[in-house]
Structure 1
Amino acid sequence: MAVGETRFPAMPGIEGLRLGTAMAGIKKPGRRDLVVIEIAEGATVAGSFTLNAFCAAPVTVAKANLAGCQARGEGARFLVINTGNANAGTGEIGLRDARATCAELAKLAGVGEDSVLPFSTGVIGEPLPMERLLAGLPAALDSLGEGAQAWQQAGEGILTTDTRPKGVSVTLEIGEQQVTINGISKGSGMVNPNMATMLAFVATDAAIEQSLLDSLLRETVDRSFNCITVDGDTSTNDACMLIATGRGATVASDEQVAIFRNGLQRVMTELAQAIVRDGEGATKFVTLQVGEAATRKEALDVAFTVAHSPLVKTALFASDANWGRILAAVGRAPVADFDVNRVVIDLGDVRLVEHGGRAAGYTEAQGSRVMAGEEITIRIALGRGEESATVWTTDLSHDYVSINADYRS
């Protein structure tokens, strides 16, 4: 089940980057579950990773290898992603297996072991089926390509409980040159900030120096993947990688950076929203806009308190205009010196709350009309300042419970 129609775009190639896939049978036979991304020399690579203390072995290895590449002034040369097994909660065995995956791919491709970054997604606590994974690497390398089919197959190859691949592509004008940004992501459940289980791989042919690339990744992730939640669980494996191959226009001046940042933010935001739309069991796509906050953090705290409320989420699933649940969630957000008389809450185009209680003109019929929609916007004005934030979430359905109760079977 997913909200709305989202089709995978026909992505143009990114010069300096190729993608390959294989059916390694890591969890189930007959599906793409191993992806290799080849990055040409001279590229810059930035990464953002989960803050979960039990971060998966591939996260530990990828962070270390990326830091080593950057210390040498180099970009990573390969990314390798497997689905079906998270290689998380696996201790030293997991680290050994992640490093062995890098070593085998490095040997096959003729690059240094620490030029390979590993990523995994799937069930936590089980060792990787290394024999099958390593046996799939030659096929993934043999299938390397740079066109639309390669991007589509890579998008399919990183999925777990997702119902559809997720991809976004934009083309920008930088000076007299075109710049392309392509991105794929996966995520459906265990989605929450820091980062919000998700993986994302975004690439551009632009030339961007390392410190700027790092900054652009942080900025755009904070307003995309760190603003989504399905169930409030932060995964052990989350990662978002940004690759600039350097084969196109240089992004350096303030004007160029502004143009590129806007395009990159669009890609990141649409990929993040695609994860929410494909949330496990989701029947609603919900936008929470909090304004008039004293700080952005305060706005985010209020938005996530509402987004994480099981009572709000189940009311959304039932299309039940039980506005008191929204009011109660706003009231328990960690905000000091809350003046409830200044808070205004709107459900779509309907005023729910003002002056400390139900809006005078509100009717149940109005609320029910908005709640019956597939896409719902809740606006909350705190009356405390000028900061704002937007968070995207889902409802909580019977199917969410069924999907996760049967996840390991």
Structure 2
Amino acid sequence: MNVVGIISELNPFHNGHSYIIKQAKELTDASYVVLVMSGNYVQRGEPAFLEKDFRVKAALKSGADMVIELPIPFATSSAEYFSSAGVALLRQLGCITHLAFGSENGSIQDLRKACSLLTLEERPSFQAVLKDSLSKGMVYAKAREEALYHVYQEEYGKTSKEQSVIWTKETIHDLLSKPNNALGLSYMQALQKQKSLITPVTIKRIGNAYEDTGLSNTGFSSASGIRAQASNGKLEATLSSIPESCREEFSQLIKENYDMGADEFTLPLLTKLLESGKEALLSYQDVTDSLADKLLKKRFEAQSFTELAMSCKSKDITYAHIMRALLHVTLGITKEECASRIDKGYSNYASILGYKSTASELFKQFKAHASIPTLVRISDAEKHLDEASLAYFKKDLQRDALYQVLLQRKIGLSDTRSTLWTYESPSAKAKLPVSFHPYKRQVICI
């Protein structure tokens, strides 16, 4: 039996995601599709545009059989940690046969060759050239390309014509500058490093580019474009890019002001900054020495989360890196916590967010083959996790609670137990209210 895994943010869920799910199932002849999804926080260093329950339901209605949450510290990390954690989760389930991902290139053969090229990053000379390029003011992405080309020439320059593929500065740039190619390569590197038997497959991305904030007339707009346009009063124009099965609820959530952005987290961020000295700031994941100095200097001037991030941006540190660092400060995600979780295999449990009622065979497969427990209820965590893992599980619940409290503040609800959303009961096609409580988990079943 084939089971295909997909790692994604679904931020928000759109036609491109639905296409990937269907293509992945077809290409791998899979009986089931298991998604590993970022929860209420994403890799951009921001809260998810829409809360995770809506995205889980959308995925299940569009062909996924189960959705498992990527732990927050890795959902909000760089591509290396994001991909490594996602691969580790799928690998430890024990029954995943394939990993599918979208790419601009669309050729797994090309990506395999590129993956071989990236092994040169382990050479000491790569780090030396990278460091030198960064010291000259080159942005990280360009410095990485320069260092990779330098090491390739150093290693194979005299025999490059004998190689199965000849790399130039242009071909390296074309490969690494495309975000989905780069993320796909991170998945493949993670599979290699973890000695996983999971087979990677790629699906050519269609529609607008990943970072395109406009909309496509083909119905395949990027998540960036959908977020930008929906937030700017152009909701109706985005709806053709949302699957029909979740279009009505997407529209309702946007109209009712449920879309979240980083600036909703300004107050908790500034509170953390005001109570922290340099030593405390340096304990948080992604906070460098120079960034800590900037934050201490600018914390009294910033009016918002994003304004502070922009004011700290420089050639040696990207806006995305700063946003992730600020979110880690806000959520209390430390370097020590991340290192500890990595030592435990990134995640030594699988927190299930939702599943189809027809996916009972997956639970049987997990029971027979998984090396980590699967958690549906909080009581499962208390029963199966060691003290440290249970503490991290509860920390992620608290981080989710912050998202929900700030969401309520945004939409004007004062009662923390007010109804926040509705969902379709699997047994009856009635809309049932779901009461909010910060330390409850709502697992979706359709």
Class of the TM-score when normalised by the shorter of the 2 chains: under 0.3
Given the two structures, how large is their TM-score scaled by the length of structure 1?
A: 0.27
Going by fraction, where is helix more abundant, 1 or 2? Answer: 2
Going by fraction, where is strand more abundant, 1 or 2? Answer: 1
